[in-house]
Amino acid sequence: MSAASHAPRSAAIASVGEFVDDSIVRRLLYASQVCALMVATVGVLVLVGWQADIELFKSIHSELGAMAPFSAVAFVLAGAALLLLRPDYDRTWWGRVARVLPWVVVAISALTLAEYLLDLNLGIDELLFLDPHGEVQDEHHGRMSVVGALGFGMLGTALLLIRLDSRTAQRLARLLALATGAMLLMGLLAFLYGKSSLYARPMFHGVALHTFAALLLLAIGILAIQPARGFKTLLASAGVGGRFARRLLPFAFATPLALAWLRMRGEQAGLYPAGIGVDLMVVTMVAIFVSVIWWNARLLDVADTKSRQARAALREYADEMADLYERAPCGYHSLDADGVFVRINDTELSWLGYERDEVVGKLAFRDLLTPENANFFEEVFKTFKSQGEVKDVEFEIRRKDGSAMPISVSATAVRDAAGRFVMSRSTVFDITERRLARQALARVNEQVRQRLMEIEQIYRYAPVGLCTLNREYRYLRINERMAQINGIPAEAHIGKSIWEIVPHLADQLVEIYRPVCERGEPVVEVEIHGRTRQDPENDHDFLASYFPLKNGSGEVIGMTGAVLDITERKRTEQALRESEAAIRALSLTDPLTGLANRRRLDEAVRSEVHRVQRYGGHLSVVIADLDHFKRVNDEHGHQVGDSVLHEFACLIRTHCRDTDLVARFGGEEFVILMPEVGASDAQACAQRIRTTLAQTVIPPLTLPITASFGVAEYVPDESEGSLLRRADKALYRGKAAGRNCVVLAEAEACSSG
């Protein structure tokens, strides 16, 4: 059993507590709705009975008379009020109707009681239907009974009080419902036990049986509408007390009623005298309650045994988890929203050299970092709190003894029910060995690169295409890799010219070979682009180097070349460049609106201020802020708020030039950076945006939303921060002046167009 996850937010339907069984709560709320429907149905059927003269609908038991028409009306109204007592109706037309209906019920009760107390006839008893034969009661034709009027008054008052967000009012409502239920139960028992003398009393005179039943249902429905308040909290509890109460209460109600009825019937049948009947009832009642108590005690004992076993297993499991946490081969810690340690395991403490009480609640993670790492951590931690996850982020921390230790951190966020950041769950790995391995690998790579220059002279085992040509550009030697590049077996190259082997590349190669053969100048790392016999459909890229071969007298007799197929590398580099461009675009773009983000804005403002300072010209900034935007989020939800922000961003873009930069400043604030635009033109643009927005209804809103604007133009020797601050101050002067306006930073008055 768990707490109900979606508790009603209404004074009438109390929020579900932590130890309340949500299934019981749902059943009680459902029972309340069923009672309301039954009460309203009884009222409707009685009215139909009076209209169509159906005796069964008017009076179930002829000896007790018919239900008064106004009683039926009161039942319909009270049942409807109870049925509409739901939080999803609170701010609707139905909710307003539900607030009025109990007042009508109380009014009917008050008028009827006034007729009895003051011996008046206000003419309301037969207002709906005539009762010439006194079917309701002989003395006052068509008038509801005193107990009925009193019951309606008490229950109508309870319906009024239970809506109030006051514990005292709701407690009084429950007491009224209980008192009414006790009074009505006494009347029903009098009917069940045949005590007709009770109905001879003025208070109970003329009460129809279904009046008693319907009023009792109404009282039960009012009590059930708050399953987690008052004495009913125990009934809905998910604990042992709740289960015990739910098992015993049916017996506590049913057993005395049933035994008293059996005793009375036995006495009436002459099976035993009155004294023996009492003895039999007491003995039977004791036996039943002892059996029920023993049965529940047995169930509780079994449950308690299982609970103790579960607690023992849980403690053992908790000890295992604690041991795994504290002595894990990696570090674990949690940081609060300020980056302060709230927990840390023994492994990480041993790495740091600190005691637990020196760290938890006292040290922040940034305190362990170098200044460079601390700034990097602030950026990462801010992103982490918003996104909820980071992986394999490397830092260098300082131990207590001052030594450095490289670590890798991965973390996920813990949030509360409202989605607010509570703390991190962080896993820390010592990457000292990994870093040493990377450094060693880098040294090896450098050695390999140097060795490759030597291995270039080795044909048979070289990983690159190697060849030797004479001055007529005929192949003298070639390795297998070069043969693969040309798409012809190695032996087929010997003695053949480049025009015979690679005719499609011959002209390009001649231009590369000429300085080598004619001037003896090496050509190093030249790129060749073309197609090969092996893959004639696709272009390939090669990186080639050619060196002259000279005889003993220094005369060039040929050349040797090394050719590397760099097609895949080129493709990878191109893909990497495209990826880097895409990543940079994403890092400078607000994901919700598609506008530039704060980072892009800061870069642009610095650049434009530098331009104006160096070359002169105009530069204006407009800051816009949606008025009462929090109300949109509160009333319509953040999804609608995001839609409004997106639409507002689109509207701003339509009124700006291609050279203007529109950025989301944060939250509902937007900034327009307008190069070569003076304050008056910037103000005019802001006015157009403000006017268009004020005349536009953004779905699903039903009314236009407005915005306030602050405009500032750059003045000589002003910093970019000062320019933005002046525009921001102008914006807030507009907010203070009534919103929906455009304010110049230098102006004193608000221009609201």
Cβ neighbour number for residue 626 with a 10 Å cutoff = 21
Query: Which residues partner with 58 through β-bridges?
Result: none
Strand ranges inside 291-435, DSSP E? 331-335, 341-344, 389-398, 404-415, 421-430
Q: How far is CA 170 from CA 5, 18, 29, 166, 423, in A?
A: 23, 21, 16, 6, 39
What is the DSSP code string of 424-476? Answer: EEEEEEE-HHHHHHHHHHHHHHHHHHHHHHHHTT-STT-SSEEEEEETT-BEE
Chain Cα centroid distance, residue 619? 41
Please state the length of the chain: 753
User: Both tokens of residue 565?
Assistant: 């197929």
Distance of CA 377 to the CA centre of its chain: 26
Q: What is the 3-state secondary structure (H, E, C) of 4-20?
A: CCCCCCCCCCCCCCCCE
Please report the sign of the dihedral spanned by the C-alpha atoms of residue 246, residue 249, residue 255, residue 258: negative
Buried b (16+ CB within 10 A) or exposed e, 684-695: ebbbbbbeebee
Residue 352 CA to residue 403 CA, distance in Å, equals 9
Coil/strand/helix, residue 61? coil
Is the CB of residue 148 less than 8 Å from the CB of residue 207? yes
* CA angle at 17 for the pair 16 and 19, rounded to the nearest 5°: 125
Q: Of the candidates 113, 84, 118, 111, which has an alpha carbon nearest to the alpha carbon of residue 100?
A: 84
Query: Do 523 and 515 contact (CB within 8 A), yes or no?
Result: yes
**What is the rounded distance in angstroms from the CA atom of residue 382 to the CA atom of residue 379?**
5
Which residues are annotated as catalytic? 668
Q: What is the DSSP string of 114-125?
A: HHHHHT---S-T
Measured distance CA(403)–CA(707) in Å, rounded: 55
Residues contacting 361, CB < 8 A, separation 6+? 340, 341, 342
Could you give the CA distance from residue 513 to residue 523 in angstroms, rounded to a whole number? 8
Is the distance from CB of 65 to CB of 208 less than 8 angstroms? yes
